[in-house]
Amino acid sequence: MAHFAQLDDNNVVQQVIVISNDVAVDEASGQEFIANTLKLDGVWKQTSYNTYRHYEYTFDDSEPPQVISSEYLGPRHSLGGTPFRGQYAGIGDRYDAGLDEFVTPESEPVE
């Protein structure tokens, strides 16, 4: 199945829909199906359900262990394929056109 994320004017993901691979053989055919058959407006970017951001974590010696640092190692594909657009797009994520990746906004610090 092919997944497509709808972006608002600020490139923030509003929704993600699923289209058959028989229809969306590539991104352009999926976008055409969304516009002409589903009649959905907006900008749609394909995303991969099998792509995720991979981190390595360092833990302290407390019980339970707490994360003390993390290092981003790059995107990974869960089935060993080529990662696509950084990570699977979730609602509220942002599409970074310069990187051609979906990114999750950093959480606001809690005071």
Closest CA to 49 of 15, 74, 16: 16
pTM of the model: 0.81
HSE, side-chain direction, 13 A CA sphere, residue 71: 4
- Residue 110 pLDDT: 44
Q: What is the pLDDT of residue 53?
A: 85
Cα(55)–Cα(52) distance, integer angstroms: 10
Q: Which parts of the chain sit beneath pLDDT 70?
A: 107-111
